Structure 1
Amino acid sequence: MRLPIYAFAAALVASSTPSSAQSNLLRVCADPNNLPFSDAAGNGFENRLAQLVATEMGKTVSYTWWAQRRGFVRHTLKAGQCDVLMGVPAHYELVEATRPYYRSSYVFVSRADRNIDVSSLKDPRLRKLKIGVHLLGDDGMNSPPAHALGDQGIVGNVIGYTIYGNYRDSTPPARLIEAVENGDIELAAAWGPLAGYAALQSPVPLRIAIMKDTENFAPLQFAFDISMGVRKGDHELRARLDDIISRKRTEIDALLSSYGVIPAPTQVGGGG
């Protein structure tokens, strides 16, 4: 799920395409190479969530696959090729967002055997540790932790890992966490669901800490409520999704937990 991290400035215009509520298909826009969120084999939690939703609606899931890079929304939802994004920020104003189905935060990730107990963005040790951050593009749209570190002048010991990566490789954003595992960096600043899933798969134990003292960097946000998104004006589909999220809360929570998705408290300093 890269969308909640960087898609806030994506252009998205309402379409007159009929709602999927009128079809026997749940047409989902998804990335085929972006675990733990989605992949073409259906192994992501958003794939499984889409199946849960489709079953509740008496529909069959149909995917429009597109790499979540620049133009993702334009080529999928806006183009009328699909009707729902399974993960968007709850306040993503350019789509019709459902009620949130989870909340997560940026976190620090380190190898457990290094005993690095950093959780605060104000921790003075950040000036000496070798830190990895995700770089989201060449237009200033970097992750909140990257901006927060830069605001403090912490740059010389920070290494950027493009979230786009080499798309021929499996799950490009995972290179950041692998750098921690391999000892190339001491600390990574990562989006919680990616970090939690990586910890389940990691060959070495990882320590994960939700970022603290983020309120010092407002208006930057570090925690986000995540919803599903449909085209603006598709009130019928949004209402049906809202109902399913409400009724299937226990199943959805269990699904997220099985993927290691790290929940953020209802209120996190500087959160969404």
Structure 2
Amino acid sequence: MPAWVADPARRFGSALLGGLLMAAACLLPVAGQAQTSDLVSTHALRVCADPANAPMSSEDLSGYENKLADLVGEKLDLPVKYEWYPMATGFVRNTLMAKKCDVIMGYAQGHELVLNTNHYLTSVFVLIVPKDGDLSGVKDLSDEALKGKRIGVIAGSPPATHMARNGLIGKAKPYNLVVDRRYESPSETMLADLESGDIDAAVLWGPIGGPLVKQHHPDFVAIPLLGNQLPPKMYYRITMGVRQGEKVWQRKLNSLIRRNQGDINAILADAGVPMVNDMGDTLLDVTQ
């Protein structure tokens, strides 16, 4: 425990100093105060996005994150404007932090590079297999039916650890984690390998795998990997990301998410994104 917490006198002194500093700040001329909300454009919803990150975002505006941006722009009565940049090293630095745009539509909760809004989606990794194959009844990576199978997995992703724990990594086929999607698409390559029979199953992040299966692979099924008790976790909460310190903008988006969660769910469900409860152990039916 820090000393100032344990010592009441020091705690009072710190509180008093904080109060004096706040009072002094209130006496400054308004024109001289930095308002972080002023960094956000009032003329357009400026979105930071990858131009080749289907099924999420695409320069042809066909991704479901493009549709989410349209919904947000409509509710804010603002036109949507994009700052395109590959979602690899330097994405946040060269877009959001460079003040070229004001929001990233999909960002994992808790990442320190951005200030997260409240989450609008919780999703989970999926196992993708032929719909009528002998693996279609598998529910998790500990299933004995997976023993001896060649499984595609993104190298360094959480499922790889679970596969190693269950003795599946020896025959696994790894695919690159960080790529420029304009030139390489590990997810689409993995599913093409599943089509050709080079692998027996594929493990992908649900918001990628689910929509790819729905759009391009009707003979496959994407099985949500629910209820894993051991780390690393297989589910993540997805938020919108804004610049650190921009609390006014964050609260505005939080309110918008809360009031329009039904419309957001409809966009995600139509795309084929698997949605689970906040603990990642129950699949949600948002069609009811």
**TM-score higher than 0.5:** yes
**Distance change (3 Å), C-alpha of 1:212 and 1:172:** closer
Read off the aligned partner of 1:185 and give its amino acid letter. Answer: I
Q: Distance in 2 between matches of 1:240 and 1:48?
A: 19
Read off the aligned partner of 2:271 and give its amino acid letter. Answer: Y
Q: Distance in 1 between matches of 2:62 and 2:80?
A: 14
Q: 8 Å contact 1:174–1:194 — kept in the other structure?
A: no
Which residue does 1:27 correspond to in 2? Answer: 46
Q: Distance in 1 between matches of 2:235 and 2:247?
A: 26
SS at match of 1:64: strand
Q: Which runs of 5+ in 2 are unaligned?
A: 1-33, 282-288
**Distance change (3 Å), C-alpha of 1:97 and 1:203:** closer
Q: 8 Å contact 2:154–2:177 — kept in the other structure?
A: yes
**1:260 equivalent in alignment to 2:272:** yes
* Superposition deviation, residue 207 in structure 1: 1.8
Q: Distance in 2 between matches of 1:164 and 1:75?
A: 17
Q: Distance in 2 between matches of 1:172 and 1:267?
A: 28
Q: Distance in 2 between matches of 1:228 and 1:123?
A: 35
Q: Distance in 2 between matches of 1:91 and 1:148?
A: 22
SS at match of 2:229: helix
**1:123 equivalent in alignment to 2:161:** no
Report matched runs for 1:176-195 at 5 Å: 176-195=190-209
Per-residue CA deviations over 1:223-263 (Å, capped at 9, x if unaligned) read: 01111010111111111111111111111111111100111
> 2:153 aligned to 130, 133, 136, which one?
133
**Distance change (3 Å), C-alpha of 1:213 and 1:57:** closer
* Superposition deviation, residue 148 in structure 1: 1.9
* Superposition deviation, residue 264 in structure 1: 1.8
**1:160 equivalent in alignment to 2:174:** yes
Higher RCO structure (Cα 8 Å, ≥6 apart): 1
* TM-score of the aligned structures, taking structure 1 as reference length: 0.83
Per-residue CA deviations over 1:78-118 (Å, capped at 9, x if unaligned) read: 22221111011122233211111111000111011213022
* TM-score of the aligned structures, taking structure 2 as reference length: 0.79
> 1:82 aligned to 80, 88, 101, which one?
101
Q: 8 Å contact 1:108–1:190 — kept in the other structure?
A: yes
SS at match of 2:132: helix
Q: Distance in 2 between matches of 1:167 and 1:251?
A: 28
SS at match of 1:92: coil
Per-residue CA deviations over 1:138-184 (Å, capped at 9, x if unaligned) read: xxxx1100122224443221001224457445755322222222322
Bigger CA drift: 29-38 or 50-59? Answer: 50-59
| Higher gyration radius (CA) | 2
Q: 8 Å contact 1:110–1:186 — kept in the other structure?
A: yes
Which residue does 1:150 correspond to in 2? Answer: 164
Which residue does 1:225 correspond to in 2? Answer: 237
Q: Distance in 2 between matches of 1:47 and 1:71?
A: 21
Q: 8 Å contact 2:127–2:225 — kept in the other structure?
A: yes
Percent of matched pairs sharing the same residue: 33
* Superposition deviation, residue 124 in structure 1: 2.8
Q: 8 Å contact 1:30–1:65 — kept in the other structure?
A: yes
Q: Distance in 2 between matches of 1:19 and 1:50?
A: 21
Read off the aligned partner of 1:236 and give its amino acid letter. Answer: V
> 1:243 aligned to 246, 251, 255, which one?
255
> 1:202 aligned to 212, 216, 238, which one?
216
Q: Distance in 2 between matches of 1:161 and 1:127?
A: 20
Bigger CA drift: 260-269 or 163-172? Answer: 163-172
Q: Distance in 1 between matches of 2:191 and 2:125?
A: 13
Q: 8 Å contact 2:119–2:237 — kept in the other structure?
A: yes
